[in-house]
Amino acid sequence: MKNILVVGGGISGTVATLALQQQGKNVTLLERSEHWHGVGHGITVQGNALKALREVGALERILPRTHPFTELQLRHADGRIITTVDTPRTGGPELPPTLGALRSELQSVLVDMIHEAGVEVLLGTRLISYRNEQNSVVAQLSDGTSRRFDLVIAADGINSETRKLAGITHEKKPSGLGIWRVVTCRTPEMNCASVFHHGPQYKAGYTPISADLCYAYVLTDPVRPDNGLSDTEELKRLLAGYHGPFDFIRESITEENMKNFQPIEWLFVDDESWRDGRVILIGDAVHACPPLIAQGAAQCCEDAVLLAEYLAQDGPVEALLDEFIQRRKKRVAGVVEASLQLADWELHPEQEGIDTAGVMAGALQQLTQPA
């Protein structure tokens, strides 16, 4: 297997491209955007993602642009610390258990590496259709060309067009939650992630992403109210009931800060195959979970690196792909189940037996095992 098409230039697609290119494969990467560069808000990157990024040689370039930390603080909305827990080292003892970063910084490193490697990148281009033939796939692209590949890897996200082409019936689903995110200043004392409970919204928190910046968030209803407020005014209104470090965060938010709101959606293709012939889907295209344990990027990175490892093995390609899919489904299922349980507890806090810290710690502890 030599010629591979990767559809989608996000985290899953870029890491898969690098892993395959480093094996000597000829990779063509499709990205539907005409301008491909790092974009997005803050992101929490856990140790198992760092392990995958190390595998493709990206970690040393990413680390200087981030803020590593080892603990998670659980706080009351008034700012009091309820407890502090150590974050399990899901990437092994030699890597930071967690770090905060701008998604744009992470993506920019991966994009730069792909260009430096000389990978063929087709911007503003989509996969329109495909046809499986013996030991190959004929791909029809939106630029009007038709090209033959040994394999197509679809990493085109939760809104994947390839998912429908492959006959997968699952669609993304609402979680019942929405999230506001903002990148703003932090104090030196805000040096690890903190999550605030028992406030007027479902939950709020922040993660440091550099020496002087953090990204803060608040979980809300999934529809932004039409109340005439600007994004800055609305975010400050939502955070008014959170104190301690949030008093500083709230006052530091201005119109110039990067901020966004979106409903939280999820997807898990658990009972259908992730492949159609020699077309296989990975990442958020088949498993996008709510960000309650911050494993979205990590699971995408694991998919990408592990798939490349399977494709380096000898044996029938279809059998290798099926073995990869079954292995990843078991891993991802635990992440999705824990994330949905946490989301349900946010929506229905009157339930008995709520153990947010226990579920988070248990899910991350399981991820200390190899992917």
What local confidence, expressed as pLDDT, does residue 38 receive? 67
What local confidence, expressed as pLDDT, does residue 1 receive? 85
**pLDDT at residue 10 above 90?**
yes
Of the candidates 234, 231, 222, the residue with the CA atom closest to the CA atom of residue 262: 222
Q: pLDDT tens, 323-359? A: 999 999 999 999 999 999 999 999 999 999 999 889 9
Q: 108 vs 45, 71, 368, CA distance in Å?
A: 15, 27, 27
Q: pLDDT tens, 149-206? A: 999 999 999 999 999 999 999 999 999 999 999 999 999 999 999 999 999 999 999 9
**pLDDT at residue 213 above 80?**
yes
**Tokens for 243?**
């104190």
Does residue 155 lie in a domain region?
yes
Determine the Cα–Cα distance for residues 69 and 193; give it in Å rounded to an integer. Answer: 8
**pLDDT at residue 24 above 90?**
yes
Q: pLDDT tens, 237-250? A: 999 999 999 999 99
Does residue 33 lie in a domain region?
yes
Q: Residues 229-262, buried b or exposed e (16+ Cβ, 10 A)?
A: eebeebbbebbebbbbbbebbbeebeeebebebe
Does residue 347 lie in a domain region?
yes
361 alpha-carbon distance from chain centroid: 19
Residues 6+ apart with CB under 8 A from 307: 16, 19, 153, 280, 282, 324
Does residue 342 lie in a domain region?
yes
Range of the domain at 8: 3-40+104-172+267-366
For 271-291, the DSSP string reads SS-SEETTEEE-GGGTEE--T
Mean pLDDT of 215-228: 97
What local confidence, expressed as pLDDT, does residue 71 receive? 95
Contact status, residue 141 vs residue 127, Cβ threshold 8 Å: yes
Mean pLDDT of 268-279: 98
Backbone angles phi, psi at 333, to 5 degrees: -55, -40
CATH number at 137 reads: 3.50.50.60
Backbone angles phi, psi at 79, to 5 degrees: 105, -15
What local confidence, expressed as pLDDT, does residue 50 receive? 98
Q: Which residue type is seen at 143?
A: D
- Indicate the average pLDDT of the chain: 96
**Tokens for 325?**
């899919």
In which band, very low, low, confident or very high, does the pLDDT at 40 lie, cut at 50, 70 and 90?
confident
Tell the burial category of 65 from Cβ atoms under 10 Å away from its Cβ (0-12, 13-18, 19+): middle
What local confidence, expressed as pLDDT, does residue 175 receive? 97
What local confidence, expressed as pLDDT, does residue 334 receive? 96
Does residue 206 lie in a domain region?
no
Residues 6+ apart with CB under 8 A from 157: 8, 10, 283, 284, 285, 288
Determine the Cα–Cα distance for residues 154 and 163; give it in Å rounded to an integer. Answer: 8
Residues 6+ apart with CB under 8 A from 137: 5, 130, 131, 148, 149, 150, 151, 152, 277, 278, 279
Number of domains in the chain: 1
What local confidence, expressed as pLDDT, does residue 41 receive? 85
Mean pLDDT of 72-93: 95
Does residue 63 lie in a domain region?
no
Does residue 228 lie in a domain region?
no
% of the chain beyond a pLDDT of 70: 99
Does residue 177 lie in a domain region?
no
Of the candidates 6, 90, 92, 106, the residue with the CA atom closest to the CA atom of residue 53: 106
Contact status, residue 30 vs residue 8, Cβ threshold 8 Å: yes
